[in-house]
Chain A
Amino acid sequence: MVTIALSVNGPKRLYSIASGEPEAVMSVIFDIKPEGALTPPFALIKPGDTIFCSQPQGSFLGSEEPAFWIASGTGIAPFRSMFRTGLSSNKTLIHGGRFLYSFYFQDELIAMKHNYIRCCTQESGAGIFEGRLTRYLRETPLPVLGFKYYLCGSAEMVVDTRDLLISRSIPFENIISEIYF
């Protein structure tokens, strides 16, 4: 994560890094919230403008271990970072969104082939699971041991998914979450 601001004393927010470790350019992803202090002006930034950015912090990092990556909305950011860092070979990525445009970076992530699952609640499309990602998880066999489960997204998605995984006998020690705030 990094903290970003538009001025030294202005409002600051945390954003997950969406670019890979080896990349020279760091990227983040954000939804424009009309009432937000930062995202409307962020959307107007042009090349050459100045923004203020902290050093990276946090420990929601990928590993070589087999894992499920589970995201909602812009919670895809850390998994796109892990993907571009080269950690996707033994991973399954499950991304939930309300609309087809919610599947950010799908043009890249489709390279994960059958290990990339998009769950859409409001629209249907080819290769898209219709329904919440929790429904997909409920209907899918999940390994209990030997896998980590990484969750990133809204608090509601994280707690609903975590409860579901725990109900499927997955040890909570193997569930690692990052929340938006």
Chain B
Amino acid sequence: MESLFGKTLAQLTQIAINNGLPKFTGRQMAEWLYKKQIANISDMTNIAKQGRERLEVKYTVGLTPPIKVQTSTDGTKKYLYTHGSRGFIEAAYIPDDDRATLCVSSQVGCKMGCLFCMTGKQGFQTHLTAGEILNQIRSLPERDQLTNVVYMGMGEPLDNPDEVLQSLEVLTAGWGYAWSPKRITVSTIGIIPAMKRFLSESDCHLAISLHTPFEDERRKLMPIENVYHLHDVIDAVKEWDWTHQRRISFEYIVFGGLNDTPRHVNELVRILNGIKCRINLIRFHPIPDTPLHGTDEATLQYFKTRLNEKGVLCTIRASRGQDIYAACGLLSTKELMSHEQKDY
């Protein structure tokens, strides 16, 4: 049966019309799904009983609770959700003083194959629907404490732009969750057409996975560089007006001896010149069989200091949930997968 959860007001209105219900039933459904947070169509008590029964023939609300939670010593929690009969996704809940951030997944697996990422090692299984993305928020036990959502879990969000943008609409619309877009950040490795669409159709913050300012190095870490070159990504970013409240940040995992030199600092300053942005330095969390290793703490601090001295706002992101494999780049459900479908 088709899920109602995750549908936009326009889609719910169309469903109402298609099922012989008054047009305003669409808005009533949105109210029940996103404001009153019901779990069953039968709970939509201001819709006529006959109408509810008609909806129940074809539709379900479509919520899926997590099947497992792991808790880190630092308070981070990793939730596991099933997807279909064989797929799994993970979401990381990260409490921090007066903030609580949920890192959501947008795909089962990932196609991008970045050398440093655990998700990429399981290949790509499928896109998540808007409802499946939002379910990670709705079904989270701590959902009422959430202050921020980041699309930085499994998958490349802008490889799934239709569903990601739909989920953002539900999250930010007045008829939906009415969250401020300033509480939401979407990360991308730089799929330019979808990035431009995201910038046009949403007001949420953008984070770009950069990891080195040199294209010849980047293509060895991130196969996407063979398709969309970094200088084109930066040019697309520079075309956008970042002087208002919308923020852009660049994610930079710091690898020892690879991208942590003064030459990298200088090139970062050069390519980001003119963009009001922040660089988030991220400690590398080693994954199996990787030839990469993280930089040492002194170099990390020096790197940050040099960027700040040169006028580029730079912070070091605290590593959270590393002991439960919930930290940046570690989400993976590969061990839970069947291996029958390989194409080679």
A residues near B, CB below 8 A? 1, 3, 12, 14, 57-60, 72-73, 96-98, 119, 121, 132-134, 153-160, 162-163, 166-167, 171-173, 175-181
Contact = CB atoms under 8 A, between A and B. Distances in A.
Contacts of B120: 155, 159
Given A132-B344, A178-B226, A155 B219 contact: no
B226 A59 contact: yes
Contacts of A119: 344
B313 interface: no
B316 to A, nearest CB: 25
Interface residues on B, range: 20 to 34
Contact of B342 (A14, A132, A177): A132
Contacts of A156: 122-124, 342-344
A160 B123 CA distance: 9
A70 to B, nearest CB: 9
Interface string B219-240: 1100111111100000000000
22 contacts: A1-B227, A3-B193, A59-B225, A97-B344, A121-B342, A133-B344, A153-B343, A153-B344, A154-B342, A155-B110, A155-B111, A155-B124, A156-B342, A157-B343, A159-B113, A166-B289, A172-B220, A172-B292, A176-B220, A177-B113, A178-B223, A181-B124
B112 interface: yes
B227 A14 contact: yes
B37 to A, nearest CB: 32
Where chain B touches its partner, the secondary structure class is loop
Contacts of B215: 59
B121 A163 contact: yes
Given A156-B342, A167-B289, A179 B224 contact: yes
A157 B344 contact: yes
A154 B225 contact: no
Given A72-B343, A98-B343, A179-B111, A159 B123 contact: yes
> Lowest 5 CB-CB distances: which A-B pairs, in order?
A156-B123, A96-B344, A72-B344, A177-B223, A155-B111
